[in-house]
Amino acid sequence: MNNNKKKDDDKNKQPKWLMIMLIALAATFALSFLSRSLLADRTGSLTYTEFLEILKTKEVKEVTFNEYYNKVSATVKDANGREVVYTTAIVDKEAALEIINERKIPVSGTVISSGSWVSILMYAMFIGFLLYSMRSMRKGGGLLGNFGQSTAKMYVQKETGVSFADVAGQDEAKESLLEIVEFLHDPGKYAEIGAKLPKGALLVGPPGTGKTLLAKAVAGEAKVPFFSLAGSDFVEMFVGMGASRVRSLFKDAQQMAPCIIFIDEIDAIGKSRDSRYGGNDEREQTLNALLAEMDGFDSSKGVFILAATNRPEVLDPALCRPGRLDRRIIVDKPDLKGRVAVLKVHAKHVNIDESVDFNEIALATSGAVGSDLANMVNEAAILAVKNGRNYVTQSDLLESVEVVIAGKEKKDRVMNDSEKRMVAYHEVGHALATALQKHTEPVQKITIVPRTMGSLGYVMQTPEEEKFLMTKDELDAELVTFLAGRASEEIFFDSVSTGAANDIEKATKLARSMVTRFGMSEEFGLMGLETIDSEYLAARSYMNCADETSAKVDMVVKKMLEDAYAKAKELLSANKDVMHKIAAFLVKKETITGKEFMQLMEEAKKERAEAEAALRERFPEMMGEAAVQADEGVGKPAENDNT
C-alpha cells in the first residue's frame, strides 16, 4: 500500500519536474539570445580586411586574441572619446601581428570576452531562480514562492490567552459578540429555528479602545482558530497579488472552519471605489475579491469575519451591507463605570495599596481610552519604584494622570521671578473664575511647574460626577474660565503675554461650536452650519454654508468671546485681594491642592469682611455710603456654589 502511495506521489511530481525542465529550456534559449543581443550592441562586427584597416588607421587602445573562440577584438576610441570594441574571426593572424608590432599596439592573449561575462551572470541568475522555484514547490508554494499566498497569523485557543474577562468597559460590545461565540459553540441550536450565522461584524471606535483585544477575546471564548492580519497585508506592488492572498486566506479558513478571520484596519483595502479622483487598481481588485469571497462562502460552515476600523465613513457601501459585515459594533470611549473596571483589570498584576480609590482616578480621566488608562497604571508603578516603594499609592496614580495628560515636570527649566508671578496670576485667574461661577467643576490642583508638553502651569479640575450633556450656562461659564487667565494678566500687570494662546484656541473652538453645531446663538438659531468629519480620529470640521454666512459666524463668535472676557475681568477685579493672597502662596509653594485653594479663598474673604467691619466702626459715614453702593450691586462678586 505504501509503495502504491509512493508511485502516486512520483506521478504527481512528474508534471512539476517536466514543467520546470521546459521552463529551463526556454529560459536557456532566451538568455542565449539576450546575451548575443547585448554583445552585438557592445561590439561592431566586420570583415577581417576591414578589421586590419582599423588597425592601420584608428587609434587602437588594445588588441585581444581569443584563441578559444577564434576571435580577435580591438578596443578603439571614437570621436567622442568613448571606447568601441570591434570583433571579427581570425583569418590571418600574422598580418594582424605585423601591423600591431609596427604601431606598437598593446596586445593580450586568450581572455573571456565581456559578452561572456554577461552570459555567465545571466546563467547564474537563472540557476538561482530555478533552485528557488524547486524549493518553493517542495514546500507547497508556486513557482514564485509565497507571492499571492496568505500571510495571516493563525492562533489557537491556547495561544490567544485572552477572554472576555480581560476586556473591561465595553459591556455592550461584549454582549453583541457573545452571541457570535454561542453560535460558533452550538450552531445546531440556531439552525433549528432557521437562524444563520452573521457573516461578519465591523468594530468601530477611536484608537486605543480595545478593538483588537475584543477580537482576540472572541476567538479565546469560542475556542476556534483565529486568523489575524491587517488590511495593509493585502496591498502589494503587483496588481492581482492582493486578490490572490484574499482567495488563499478564505481557502485556508474554510478548511479550518469553524474559525474567525480578523482584519485590522480594513480601511486600507475597503475604501469606497470612487473613480472621480482616480483609484488604485491593486486595492480595488483586492476589495472586489474580498467582496466576492464574502458572498461566496457558506455561513453554515462557521467562518466568521471580524473587521476593525476607526474610519467607517470611508468604507465602501458594498462592504458594510447586510450579508457581508452584517453588524456594526461601536467600541467607544469607556464611561465612568467602564474606566473604573479598566483600571482594575490593568491593576491586577500590580501591587496596589488598599487605600487607592479608583473612582477618583476615573473621575480625573474623563475621555481616556483603555490604552491611556493602561499607560497611567504602568507610569504609576514606575513612579512607585522610583520613590523606593514596592506598591502603588493614590498619589502615584494621580501623578501618572498628569504625566500622561501634560507630560513630566521639567525641573531644569527655571523661570525668572517676573515670569513666575505672571504665570501664577494667570493660573489663579482660571481657578478663581471657576470658583466664583455656578455650573463649574471644582478645582483639584493648581501648579506653576513647567511640563514637557509645553505648559508652564495649569489648573486641574475634577468633576463630582460624570456628565454626558452640557447646558448653555455651563458652556458660557467654561468660556469665562478659559479667558480668565488673560484677564488676570491685563488687570494685574497692565500687559498680556503669549501664555494664553492655548486658552484662546480652546475658547474660540468652543464658541464656534456653540454657534454652528449646538444652535446656541440668537443670530442663527437652530441652523447647523458645520459638519464633523473623521469622528473617531481628528474630528475635523468644515463649514457647509455660504461665505457671507461664515463671515457673520466669525463676528458672532467674536462678540461671544468679548462678552466672556468682560465678565472674567469683572469677576477678578471684584476679588483682587483674594487674587493677591492665593498668587503669593502659589509663587512660594509652586503647587497647591484644591483644598488649600478653597481655604485660602475663605481666609481672604474673612480678612476682607474683618477689614470692612473695622472701617465701618472707624468711619461709619463712609461705610454707610459703601453699603448703599453694595446694595445697589456695585462691585458685588458673583455667588459661588462651590464655596
User: DSSP letters along 27-61, please?
Assistant: HHHHHHHHHHHHHHHHEEE--HHHHHHHHHHS-EE
478 is catalytic: no
Q: Do residues 254 and 297 touch, judged by C-beta distance below 8 A? A: yes
- Please list the helix, strand and coil fractions of the chain in percent, rounded to the nearest 5, in that order: 55, 15, 30
- Record the cell numbers describing residue 503, joined without a space: 486658552
Q: Do residues 434 and 443 touch, judged by C-beta distance below 8 A? A: yes
State the Rg of the chain over Cα: 40
The β-bridge relationship of strands 60-66 and 107-108 is parallel
Q: How far apart are CA 473 and CA 321, in angstroms?
A: 42
Q: Of 159, 158, 135, nearest to 145 (Cα)?
A: 135
Q: Of 457, 454, 554, 467, nearest to 511 (Cα)?
A: 554
User: DSSP letters along 435-461, please?
Assistant: HTSSS-PPEEEEE---BTTS-S-EEEE
Q: Do residues 458 and 481 touch, judged by C-beta distance below 8 A? A: no
Q: Where are the alpha helices (DSSP H) in 387-416?
A: 394-406
Backbone angles phi, psi at 160, to 5 degrees: -70, -50
Taking every pair of C-alpha atoms in the chain, what is the biggest distance, in angstroms? 139
Backbone angles phi, psi at 446, to 5 degrees: -130, 130
Q: Do residues 55 and 99 touch, judged by C-beta distance below 8 A? A: yes
Q: How far apart are CA 246 and CA 49, in angstroms?
A: 65
Q: How far apart are CA 616 and CA 364, in angstroms?
A: 45
Q: Do residues 76 and 50 touch, judged by C-beta distance below 8 A? A: no
Neighbours of 176 (CB within 10 A): 16
- Record the cell numbers describing residue 223, joined without a space: 475556542
How are strands ordered across the β-sheet holding 60-66? 43-45, 83-89, 71-77, 60-66, 107-108
Q: How far apart are CA 89 and CA 70, in angstroms?
A: 6
Q: Of 456, 458, 464, 418, nearest to 440 (Cα)?
A: 464
Q: How far apart are CA 563 and CA 571, in angstroms?
A: 13
Q: How far apart are CA 253 and CA 255, in angstroms?
A: 5
Q: To 10 degrees, what angle do helices 472-493 and 576-589 make? A: 80
The β-bridge relationship of strands 226-230 and 153-155 is antiparallel
Of 282, 427, 478, 530, which residue is the catalytic one? Answer: 427
Four-CA torsion 355, 356, 359, 361, nearest 10 degrees: 140
The residues carrying an active-site annotation are 427
